[in-house]
A and B are shown apart, each in its own frame.
Chain A
Amino acid sequence: MPKRFASIWFRHLLTDQKAIHQTGLKGKAYVFAEPDHGRMLIMALTEEARKYGITEGMTVADARVIAPDLLVFDGKPGRNIKLLTGLAEWCLRYTPLVQLDPPDGLLLDVTGCTHLKGGEKAYLQEIASRLKTIGYDVRPAIADTIGAAWGVARCAASGLIVPAGAHRNALMTLPPSALRLPMDQLLKLRNLGLHQISSFIYMPNSVLRRRFGKDMVLRLQQALGQEPEYLFPLKEPVPYSERLECLEAIKTRPAIEIALNELLEKLCKRLYGEGLGLRSAMFSWFRVDGKNGNITIGTNHSSNRVLHLFKLFFTKLDTVAPGLAGIELFTLDALKTEPINDKQSELWSAKGGAHNEEVAELLDRVANQIGTAPIHRYLPGEHYWPERTPKLNSDIKKAPESQWRTDKPRPMQILDRPEPIEAMALTPDYPPKLFIWKGEQHIIVGADGPERIEREWWLEPGEHRDYYIAEDEAGRRYWLFRSGHYNAENNQHWYLHGFFA
């Protein structure tokens, strides 16, 4: 079967990717710049920026003079390889053989794949349109050789699908830059007036080799299919998944435990080798009678310790129902993995808080029994309003950004919602003389206050509160407040909000 290759050219790989994540950038002139010998050079730019006359390799300072509203972002070296790898993995749905073609392209071996989508035209159209909906500006081409497909994708005005055997003709009208040649050779060819491939394609190879070196001849021959060229396909990512097939159907609990342990050991060994840990995993079983099920666990921090993960599954193993038929296959899938955190760094931080492994594993066990929602910490929230002062945080390791306040006393116990009380206050700005809460009368003998806490009007409307710390005859200390201003009409609203230690 004659080989067919596709080349996909991402015309604005980096800038398109930025626009996908920041939709506001679409249609704006912006560039990526990288430092080079103490100046910022433009590495990638949008079509809009090109309209100003900006090109790759220009310094940012020059470009700013031409286009004052130009947006400049810092480029990261190697970013395009990362993006291309992701796109190449995405393209594995079209063909098993994909190669990265840096700086801004992909090469696909599409031999025998195109009929699946109804011919080469439909095949190419689907790739192009799907990439376009994602947000990439692409030009794909198909030809008999890698070189021809590459050249046609980048330089041809039309005819992106070169029929079998027609690649020689297709190359004729293209400029020499379609041949994947280095810049100095392209300049040499232009100086000699060779503007099209057709003007030197008939020259003898020995002449070309003498003038331009053997690389140029190789590229020409590769494009024409006279020299073989091979793809170095991308390695397919292997999912973190393990299978255990049982020779005989398994029915007993100890056997299930052994199976789980074996799978965990295999998976954890692999994860350990790659410096990864599990965040979430699924253990599935398949019964002989066609029924199946699974149990899922999650961890607070990435872990590849077999014993700990086994314990997490263990509490849920009761749901594994082998039935009368028994189980013939177990699988273990890592749904989410993360790099395992460095133990070395923990050595320095003494024995602090929730950072040590044992506590994290304890919380995992608790979370698997009762869920993750009940486990939380509080960080200081930058609010005066008592209900918002502690900020709920479910991340166990996050450090507080600000200090807890200690200048104002706060009650040990607080009521979720303040309870209305009947209070008697004789003068404004003075604590009440007595109050009645739940039918009991408390005579106040000492009080501090008022501490006025204003409502955060940008969050919610309402009255401010005047808080008093009040101590009654028995020594019980309360946190009371009056909602709103004092008024003599005796319709003030007093509330009990907390209890001091």
Chain B
Amino acid sequence: MKPTKEEIISQLRQDMIRWEGFRPQQPGASNDLGLGPVATAFSDGVFPTGAIHEFISSSPEDTAASGGFIAGLVQKILGNGGACLWISYTRRIYPPALKLFGVDPDRVIFIDVPLQKDVLWVTEEALKCEGVATVICETKALSFTESQRLALAVEKSHVTGFILRKDVKKTNTTACVTRWQIRPVRSQLRPGMPGVGHPRWQVELLKVRNGRPGNWTVEWKKQSFQTVIVPQIIESNRRYA
């Protein structure tokens, strides 16, 4: 039977995804990082591991929020074994906080590179190593060529890379699979309760290859991501209906 037009097109789409560096999920490895509704933004509903993700932040508050979001992802990735490397030039991350996001701080190897120009070299070496599960790199600048090198490095080794770019004034094109921006938002407690609630972020997926960018409010609660549907808008609608 001759394949219909739709079948041919869907087959071609699948091929293109593969050519662009996406790989089908490996059998046995759980790739569900617990992102819930956020994961629907990706091409097949699965967070792409074995790729480079870019997080941009412009203030230390944003960097902290991004760090929390990344730590939540790393927790799931480390569940399959392997090492985690945190490479940085000016690191301010406070290791005990990682424990609150399910990552054992003693499992993370921190490399505080003394010279900024070595950061990307170390990152590339780490991304090439198959024994490593995930690499987090804090850097400021990342040019297109540099990001291409990193993307090529992970293509063979299947390491998941997170590039946390601090103090970004102007974004440039990169070869990363996604670009995220995480901002802290007001936490919510039950009405009438004083204090500060669970960490809550505005997760903005600015760019994603073969997917739909989106914007969600995510809360870290009970050791997992909970997508929050912000209630104020609904309430105000109801009030004036």
Taking Cβ atoms with an 8 Å cutoff, the residues of A that contact B are 350-354, 356-359, 361-363, 365-366, 369-371, 373-380, 386, 389-390, 396, 399-400, 404-406, 409-416, 445-448, 469-471, 473-478, 498-501
Do B114 and A471 touch (CB < 8 A)?
A: no
Given contacts A499-B64, A500-B64, A362 and B131 within 8 Å (CB-CB): yes
A353 contact set on B, CB distance < 8 A: 82-83, 107
B118 contact set on A, CB distance < 8 A: 369-370
Given contacts A406-B100, A413-B93, 5 further A-B contacts (CB under 8 A): A365-B125, A411-B64, A447-B195, A477-B196, A498-B94
| From B96, B125, B132, B195, contact of A446 by CB (8 A) | B195
Do B97 and A501 touch (CB < 8 A)?
A: yes
Given contacts A366-B122, A379-B106, A406 and B99 within 8 Å (CB-CB): yes
Alpha-carbon distance between A170 and B125 when the two chains are bound, in angstroms = 74
Given contacts A375-B111, A390-B94, A501 and B106 within 8 Å (CB-CB): no
A410 contact set on B, CB distance < 8 A: 94, 96-97, 100
B129 within 8 A of A: yes
Whole-angstrom distance between the Cβ of B50 and the nearest chain A Cβ: 16
| From B81, B92, B126, contact of A350 by CB (8 A) | B81
A352 contact set on B, CB distance < 8 A: 81
Alpha-carbon distance between A406 and B195 when the two chains are bound, in angstroms = 18
Do A378 and B68 touch (CB < 8 A)?
A: no
Given contacts A357-B131, A358-B130, A374-B113, A414 and B186 within 8 Å (CB-CB): no
B183 contact set on A, CB distance < 8 A: 475
| From A359, A414, A415, contact of B132 by CB (8 A) | A359
Do B106 and A413 touch (CB < 8 A)?
A: no
Chain A interface mostly helix, strand, loop or mixed? mixed
10 shortest A-B CB distances, which residue pairs? A501-B68, A358-B131, A351-B81, A499-B64, A414-B94, A475-B185, A475-B186, A412-B64, A378-B95, A404-B99
| From B60, B82, B95, contact of A351 by CB (8 A) | B82
B61 within 8 A of A: yes
Nearest B-chain residue to A393, judged by Cβ? B106
A374 contact set on B, CB distance < 8 A: 111-114
Whole-angstrom distance between the Cβ of B225 and the nearest chain A Cβ: 12
Do A501 and B129 touch (CB < 8 A)?
A: no
Do A354 and B94 touch (CB < 8 A)?
A: no
B100 contact set on A, CB distance < 8 A: 406, 409-410
Whole-angstrom distance between the Cβ of B87 and the nearest chain A Cβ: 9
Whole-angstrom distance between the Cβ of A231 and the nearest chain B Cβ: 52
Interface residues of B in 14-67 (CB under 8 A from A): 60-61, 63-65, 67
B199 within 8 A of A: yes
Alpha-carbon distance between A350 and B80 when the two chains are bound, in angstroms = 10
Do B83 and A377 touch (CB < 8 A)?
A: no
Whole-angstrom distance between the Cβ of A350 and the nearest chain B Cβ: 6
Do B129 and A358 touch (CB < 8 A)?
A: yes
B104 within 8 A of A: yes
A–B Cβ pairs within 8 angstroms, 18 of them: A359-B131, A366-B126, A373-B114, A377-B110, A410-B96, A413-B63, A413-B67, A414-B92, A446-B186, A446-B194, A476-B184, A477-B64, A477-B187, A477-B196, A499-B60, A501-B64, A501-B71, A501-B184
Alpha-carbon distance between A363 and B194 when the two chains are bound, in angstroms = 47
Given contacts A356-B131, A413-B94, A475-B186, A448 and B196 within 8 Å (CB-CB): yes
Whole-angstrom distance between the Cβ of B107 and the nearest chain A Cβ: 5
Do B97 and A377 touch (CB < 8 A)?
A: no
Alpha-carbon distance between A474 and B200 when the two chains are bound, in angstroms = 12
B69 within 8 A of A: yes
Nearest B-chain residue to A365, judged by Cβ? B125
Alpha-carbon distance between A130 and B201 when the two chains are bound, in angstroms = 72
